[in-house]
Amino acid sequence: HTGVITALLDDVTARVSLANASDKPSFTANFQLEYLHSVPTKSFVVMDAWATKVEGRKIFITSYAADPLNGQVFVRAQSLFV
């Protein structure tokens, strides 16, 4: 499961970087994950991401994957896009 969650969080954060980037494309420079709980099979997962800071071309993003019913966070991530 961790590979799927990682790929999905990277996609979610990439969309945030596109919304905050200037006219140039941005790319993942750093992606740090913290796995807090395993994700149950066949469960619903909500993901959210937001830019915490923008410095020139650098876009710092925080994201998470959680259970939408009880709010339990499965994974937290910090990303840097340039």
The pTM of the whole model exceeds 0.75: yes
The dihedral through the CA atoms of 20, 60, 27, 2 has a sign that is negative
CA distances from 73 to 6, 26, 27, 68 (A): 14, 27, 26, 9
- Quote the pLDDT of residue 2: 78
- Quote the pLDDT of residue 1: 62
pLDDT average per 10 residues of sequence, the chain (82 residues): 89 94 87 95 95 95 97 97 95
- Quote the pLDDT of residue 45: 96
Delineate the domains of the chain, giving CATH numbers in brackets.
Answer: 2-81 (3.10.129.10)
- Quote the pLDDT of residue 79: 97
- Quote the pLDDT of residue 21: 84
- Quote the pLDDT of residue 24: 81
